[in-house]
Protein backbone atom coordinates (compact mmCIF):
# COMPACT_ATOMS: atom_id res chain seq x y z
CA UNK A 1 0.00 0.00 0.00
CA UNK A 2 1.28 3.44 -0.92
CA UNK A 3 0.41 6.36 1.37
CA UNK A 4 1.30 10.02 0.98
CA UNK A 5 0.38 12.90 3.27
CA UNK A 6 0.11 15.64 0.69
CA UNK A 7 2.32 18.68 1.38
CA UNK A 8 0.30 21.71 2.43
CA UNK A 9 3.03 24.33 2.78
CA UNK A 10 5.63 25.66 0.40
CA UNK A 11 8.85 23.60 0.67
CA UNK A 12 11.16 23.34 2.47
CA UNK A 13 9.22 24.15 5.66
CA UNK A 14 7.72 20.65 5.97
CA UNK A 15 4.94 22.17 8.07
CA UNK A 16 1.45 20.71 7.79
CA UNK A 17 -1.35 23.27 7.50
CA UNK A 18 -4.07 21.08 5.97
CA UNK A 19 -4.83 17.35 5.79
CA UNK A 20 -5.14 15.05 2.80
CA UNK A 21 -3.73 11.54 2.53
CA UNK A 22 -3.59 9.72 -0.76
CA UNK A 23 -3.81 5.93 -0.51
CA UNK A 24 -2.78 4.64 -3.89
CA UNK A 25 -3.91 7.07 -6.56
CA UNK A 26 -7.70 6.61 -6.46
CA UNK A 27 -8.51 7.11 -2.78
CA UNK A 28 -8.09 10.25 -0.68
CA UNK A 29 -8.67 10.64 3.02
CA UNK A 30 -9.81 14.22 3.67
CA UNK A 31 -9.70 17.07 1.23
CA UNK A 32 -7.69 19.82 2.90
CA UNK A 33 -5.25 20.16 0.02
CA UNK A 34 -6.39 17.68 -2.63
CA UNK A 35 -7.70 20.45 -4.89
CA UNK A 36 -4.19 21.87 -5.31
CA UNK A 37 -2.60 18.74 -6.77
CA UNK A 38 -1.53 18.54 -10.39
CA UNK A 39 -4.74 18.15 -12.35
CA UNK A 40 -3.77 14.73 -13.71
CA UNK A 41 -3.41 13.38 -10.18
CA UNK A 42 -6.69 14.98 -9.08
CA UNK A 43 -8.49 13.26 -11.94
CA UNK A 44 -7.33 9.82 -10.81
CA UNK A 45 -8.93 10.30 -7.36
CA UNK A 46 -12.40 8.73 -7.42
CA UNK A 47 -13.23 8.27 -3.72
CA UNK A 48 -12.78 10.87 -0.97
CA UNK A 49 -13.29 9.69 2.60
CA UNK A 50 -13.98 12.65 4.91
CA UNK A 51 -13.22 12.22 8.61
CA UNK A 52 -15.00 15.35 9.83
CA UNK A 53 -16.04 18.81 8.71
CA UNK A 54 -13.26 20.96 10.19
CA UNK A 55 -11.91 23.28 7.54
CA UNK A 56 -8.34 21.96 7.50
CA UNK A 57 -9.85 18.64 6.32
CA UNK A 58 -12.29 19.92 3.68
CA UNK A 59 -10.79 23.25 2.55
CA UNK A 60 -10.25 22.33 -1.11
CA UNK A 61 -13.12 19.85 -1.53
CA UNK A 62 -15.29 22.37 -3.46
CA UNK A 63 -12.58 23.31 -5.96
CA UNK A 64 -11.46 19.68 -6.26
CA UNK A 65 -14.97 18.59 -7.33
CA UNK A 66 -15.09 21.45 -9.82
CA UNK A 67 -11.61 20.64 -11.14
CA UNK A 68 -12.35 16.99 -11.86
CA UNK A 69 -15.93 17.33 -13.12
CA UNK A 70 -16.56 15.92 -16.56
CA UNK A 71 -20.04 15.78 -18.12
CA UNK A 72 -21.52 12.31 -17.81
CA UNK A 73 -22.75 9.79 -15.26
CA UNK A 74 -19.36 9.13 -13.61
CA UNK A 75 -18.39 11.30 -10.66
CA UNK A 76 -16.24 11.43 -7.58
CA UNK A 77 -17.72 9.74 -4.54
CA UNK A 78 -17.62 11.39 -1.11
CA UNK A 79 -17.85 8.94 1.77
CA UNK A 80 -18.50 10.27 5.25
CA UNK A 81 -20.85 9.94 8.20
CA UNK A 82 -24.42 11.04 7.60
CA UNK A 83 -23.83 14.08 9.85
CA UNK A 84 -20.79 15.22 7.88
CA UNK A 85 -22.59 14.80 4.56
CA UNK A 86 -25.41 16.97 5.93
CA UNK A 87 -22.95 19.64 7.10
CA UNK A 88 -21.23 19.68 3.71
CA UNK A 89 -24.57 20.10 1.97
CA UNK A 90 -25.98 22.74 4.32
CA UNK A 91 -22.83 24.78 4.96
CA UNK A 92 -20.62 24.46 1.86
CA UNK A 93 -22.60 23.14 -1.14
CA UNK A 94 -25.56 25.34 -0.29
CA UNK A 95 -25.86 27.48 -3.41
CA UNK A 96 -24.11 30.40 -1.69
CA UNK A 97 -20.61 29.35 -0.59
CA UNK A 98 -20.51 26.98 -3.59
CA UNK A 99 -23.04 25.50 -6.02
CA UNK A 100 -25.24 22.73 -4.64
CA UNK A 101 -23.47 19.89 -6.44
CA UNK A 102 -25.72 17.39 -4.68
CA UNK A 103 -28.93 18.88 -6.09
CA UNK A 104 -27.35 19.56 -9.48
CA UNK A 105 -26.25 15.94 -9.91
CA UNK A 106 -28.46 13.80 -12.14
CA UNK A 107 -28.05 10.13 -13.05
CA UNK A 108 -26.78 11.06 -16.51
CA UNK A 109 -24.67 14.05 -15.41
CA UNK A 110 -23.26 13.93 -11.90
CA UNK A 111 -20.95 16.28 -10.01
CA UNK A 112 -20.70 14.11 -6.95
CA UNK A 113 -22.07 10.96 -5.36
CA UNK A 114 -22.47 10.68 -1.60
CA UNK A 115 -22.21 7.52 0.46
CA UNK A 116 -23.05 7.53 4.17
CA UNK A 117 -20.66 5.51 6.31
CA UNK A 118 -21.65 3.61 9.42
CA UNK A 119 -19.20 2.97 12.26
CA UNK A 120 -17.42 -0.39 11.98
CA UNK A 121 -19.12 -1.19 8.65
CA UNK A 122 -16.29 -1.65 6.14
CA UNK A 123 -16.59 -0.53 2.53
CA UNK A 124 -14.32 -1.60 -0.33
CA UNK A 125 -13.13 0.87 -2.95
CA UNK A 126 -10.27 0.60 -5.46
CA UNK A 127 -9.06 -2.63 -3.88
CA UNK A 128 -8.95 -1.13 -0.39
CA UNK A 129 -11.18 -2.14 2.49
CA UNK A 130 -11.86 0.90 4.64
CA UNK A 131 -13.32 0.53 8.12
CA UNK A 132 -14.67 3.69 9.81
CA UNK A 133 -14.18 3.87 13.58
CA UNK A 134 -15.42 6.77 15.75
CA UNK A 135 -12.75 8.74 17.62
CA UNK A 136 -12.93 11.51 20.24
CA UNK A 137 -12.63 15.01 18.80
CA UNK A 138 -15.50 17.13 20.09
CA UNK A 139 -17.32 16.91 16.75
CA UNK A 140 -18.39 13.54 15.34
CA UNK A 141 -15.23 12.23 13.68
CA UNK A 142 -14.43 8.94 12.00
CA UNK A 143 -10.95 7.47 11.90
CA UNK A 144 -10.28 5.04 9.07
CA UNK A 145 -8.45 1.72 8.96
CA UNK A 146 -7.37 0.90 5.41
CA UNK A 147 -6.45 -2.66 4.41
CA UNK A 148 -5.28 -3.80 0.98
CA UNK A 149 -5.19 -7.48 1.95
CA UNK A 150 -1.47 -7.46 2.70
CA UNK A 151 -1.03 -4.45 4.97
CA UNK A 152 -3.34 -2.31 7.07
CA UNK A 153 -2.75 1.30 8.08
CA UNK A 154 -4.72 3.36 10.61
CA UNK A 155 -5.66 7.02 10.18
CA UNK A 156 -7.36 8.04 13.45
CA UNK A 157 -7.69 11.64 12.19
CA UNK A 158 -8.10 14.41 14.75
CA UNK A 159 -8.65 12.92 18.19
CA UNK A 160 -7.78 13.10 21.82
CA UNK A 161 -7.66 10.05 24.09
CA UNK A 162 -10.03 7.46 22.67
CA UNK A 163 -10.83 3.75 22.92
CA UNK A 164 -12.79 2.18 20.06
CA UNK A 165 -10.10 2.41 17.41
CA UNK A 166 -7.49 0.75 19.64
CA UNK A 167 -9.92 -2.06 20.47
CA UNK A 168 -10.57 -2.52 16.76
CA UNK A 169 -6.89 -2.44 15.81
CA UNK A 170 -6.04 -5.11 18.38
CA UNK A 171 -7.71 -7.58 16.01
CA UNK A 172 -6.09 -6.33 12.79
CA UNK A 173 -3.16 -8.73 12.37
CA UNK A 174 -1.48 -7.03 9.42
CA UNK A 175 -1.43 -3.53 10.93
CA UNK A 176 1.78 -1.79 9.90
CA UNK A 177 1.41 1.87 10.85
CA UNK A 178 -0.67 4.46 12.69
CA UNK A 179 -0.70 8.10 11.57
CA UNK A 180 -1.55 9.70 14.92
CA UNK A 181 -1.88 13.37 15.66
CA UNK A 182 -0.05 15.54 18.19
CA UNK A 183 -1.53 19.03 17.88
CA UNK A 184 -0.21 20.66 21.06
CA UNK A 185 2.91 20.55 23.22
CA UNK A 186 2.54 19.51 26.83
CA UNK A 187 2.38 23.14 28.01
CA UNK A 188 -1.07 23.22 26.42
CA UNK A 189 -2.28 19.82 27.61
CA UNK A 190 -5.34 21.40 29.19
CA UNK A 191 -6.40 23.06 25.93
CA UNK A 192 -5.71 19.86 23.98
CA UNK A 193 -8.03 17.95 26.30
CA UNK A 194 -10.76 20.59 25.95
CA UNK A 195 -10.76 20.56 22.14
CA UNK A 196 -10.20 16.85 21.50
CA UNK A 197 -6.57 16.76 20.41
CA UNK A 198 -3.41 15.13 21.67
CA UNK A 199 -0.47 16.73 23.40
CA UNK A 200 2.85 14.90 23.47
CA UNK A 201 2.22 13.08 26.75
CA UNK A 202 -1.30 11.96 25.84
CA UNK A 203 0.07 10.66 22.51
CA UNK A 204 2.61 8.55 24.38
CA UNK A 205 -0.08 7.30 26.77
CA UNK A 206 -2.26 6.38 23.81
CA UNK A 207 0.50 4.20 22.33
CA UNK A 208 0.23 1.88 25.33
CA UNK A 209 -3.36 1.08 24.35
CA UNK A 210 -2.00 -0.73 21.28
CA UNK A 211 1.01 -2.74 22.45
CA UNK A 212 2.02 -3.79 18.97
CA UNK A 213 5.16 -3.49 16.88
CA UNK A 214 3.91 -0.87 14.39
CA UNK A 215 5.23 2.43 13.06
CA UNK A 216 3.79 5.48 14.83
CA UNK A 217 3.89 8.45 12.49
CA UNK A 218 3.23 11.84 14.10
CA UNK A 219 0.96 14.18 12.12
CA UNK A 220 -1.05 17.39 12.59
CA UNK A 221 1.48 19.41 14.63
CA UNK A 222 0.11 22.94 14.78
CA UNK A 223 2.63 25.13 12.97
CA UNK A 224 3.45 27.41 15.90
CA UNK A 225 4.19 24.39 18.11
CA UNK A 226 5.79 22.09 15.53
CA UNK A 227 9.36 22.53 16.79
CA UNK A 228 8.42 22.21 20.46
CA UNK A 229 6.45 19.03 19.81
CA UNK A 230 9.34 17.59 17.81
CA UNK A 231 11.70 18.23 20.75
CA UNK A 232 9.26 16.72 23.24
CA UNK A 233 8.76 13.61 21.11
CA UNK A 234 12.51 13.16 20.68
CA UNK A 235 13.08 13.59 24.43
CA UNK A 236 10.71 10.72 25.21
CA UNK A 237 12.89 8.32 23.19
CA UNK A 238 9.87 6.28 22.17
CA UNK A 239 10.56 3.29 19.90
CA UNK A 240 8.98 3.20 16.44
CA UNK A 241 7.92 6.88 16.53
CA UNK A 242 8.76 9.24 13.68
CA UNK A 243 7.58 12.64 12.43
CA UNK A 244 5.62 12.51 9.20
CA UNK A 245 7.37 13.56 6.01
CA UNK A 246 4.79 15.36 3.85
CA UNK A 247 5.17 14.52 0.17
CA UNK A 248 7.00 11.25 0.87
CA UNK A 249 5.42 8.07 -0.47
CA UNK A 250 5.28 5.49 2.32
CA UNK A 251 5.18 1.82 1.29
CA UNK A 252 3.52 -0.62 3.65
ZN1 LIG B 1 -10.58 18.69 13.59
ZN1 LIG C 1 -7.45 18.95 11.81
Ligand with minimal distance to 159 CA: 1
Predicted pLDDT at 11? 80
The per-residue pLDDT for range 39-82, each reduced to its tens digit, is 999 999 999 999 999 999 999 999 999 999 999 999 999 999 99
| Å from CA of 105 to ligand 1 middle | 28
- Beta bridge partners of residue 87, listed in sequence order: none
Predicted pLDDT at 243? 97
- Angle between helix 200-207 and helix 226-236 axes, rounded to 10 deg: 40
| Å from CA of 24 to ligand 1 middle | 24
CA distance 236 to 233: 5
| Å from CA of 108 to ligand 1 middle | 35
One digit per residue, pLDDT tens: the chain, 252 residues? 999 999 999 887 889 999 999 999 999 999 999 999 999 999 999 999 999 999 999 999 999 999 999 999 999 999 999 999 999 999 999 999 999 999 999 999 999 999 999 999 999 999 999 999 999 999 999 999 999 999 999 999 999 999 999 999 999 999 999 999 999 999 999 999 999 999 999 999 999 999 899 999 999 999 999 999 999 999 999 999 999 999 999 999
Domain 2-251 classification at class level: alpha beta
CA distance 58 to 39: 18
Q: How is the chain split into domains, by residue range?
A: 2-251
Predicted pLDDT at 13? 82
| Å from CA of 155 to ligand 2 middle | 12
Q: Which residues surround ligand 2, an ion (CB under 5 A)?
A: 56, 158
Ligand with minimal distance to 53 CA: 1
- Beta bridge partners of residue 216, listed in sequence order: 178, 241
| Å from CA of 158 to ligand 1 middle | 5
Please give the helix or strand (H or E) that residue 28 lies within, else none: strand 27-29
Ligand with minimal distance to 137 CA: 1
Straight-line distance from the first to the last Cα atom of the chain, in angstroms, rounded to the nearest whole number:
5
Ligand with minimal distance to 139 CA: 1
Predicted pLDDT at 10? 85
Enumerate the H helices of 82-139 as residue ranges: 82-87, 101-104
Predicted pLDDT at 14? 86
Amino acid sequence: MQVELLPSSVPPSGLQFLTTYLVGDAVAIDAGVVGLLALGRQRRIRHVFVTHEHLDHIATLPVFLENVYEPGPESVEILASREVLEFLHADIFNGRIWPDFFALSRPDDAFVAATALEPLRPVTRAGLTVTPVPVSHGVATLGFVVDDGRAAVAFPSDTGPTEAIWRHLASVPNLRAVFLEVSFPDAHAHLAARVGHHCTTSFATEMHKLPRDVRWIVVHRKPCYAETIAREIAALGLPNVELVNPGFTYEF
